[in-house]
Amino acid sequence: MPVSAYRFRQVAELLGVSDDTVRRWADSGRLEATTDQTGRRAVDGAVLARFVREFADDAGDDSAGGMWGALSRSSARNRFPGLVTRVVRDTVMAQVELQCGPYRVVSLMSREAADELGLEPGVLAVADVKSTNVVIEVPET
């Protein structure tokens, strides 16, 4: 189920920054903030999705702690919590993009699966990666 707004603490956890950093971004106008139904400052999910795409060039923390601790158990060891930033659907398949800290993760799945999960920009999700083929690259010196 999509969450329409994220409190500053959640935004900070997603981006691997402090709550104070999120407040400074909002106060300076870098990140558009609103007030949620309880009167606390928050960020709309679609606004956050756009901001996260821009944030990807900055360093961040890709750990799976914080709000992700209650997820089901899995044999996948490479878990990337993030925010859905784009979903492209056709009649059979869907391409789903997540921004996981500074990393962009793209998944191809059936349209039915994307629809059942309610995947839209601004939705919290976790990319579980399990593969027998992993390519490792090193930068040129």
Q: What is the pLDDT of residue 60?
A: 39
Q: What is the pLDDT of residue 13?
A: 85
Q: What is the pLDDT of residue 73?
A: 61
**Rounded Cα–Cα distance for residues 119 and 105 (Å):** 14
95-113: pLDDT as tens digits? 999 998 888 999 999 999 9
Cβ proximity of 62 and 102 under 8 Å: yes
Greater pLDDT, 85 or 71: 85
Q: What is the pLDDT of residue 75?
A: 65
Helical segments of the chain, H only:
8-15, 19-28, 45-55, 111-117
3-48: pLDDT as tens digits? 678 999 988 888 878 889 899 999 999 999 998 888 899 999 889 9
Torsions phi, psi for 7 (to 5 deg):
-70, 160
Average pLDDT over residues 66-86: 70
44-70: pLDDT as tens digits? 988 998 888 776 645 334 444 445 444
Structure tokens at 43: 């960020």
Is the alpha carbon torsion for 97, 99, 105, 109 positive or negative?
A: negative
Q: What is the pLDDT of residue 122?
A: 94
- Is residue 131 over pLDDT 80? no
Which domains, from first to last, does the chain contain? 1-65+77-129 (2.40.50.100)
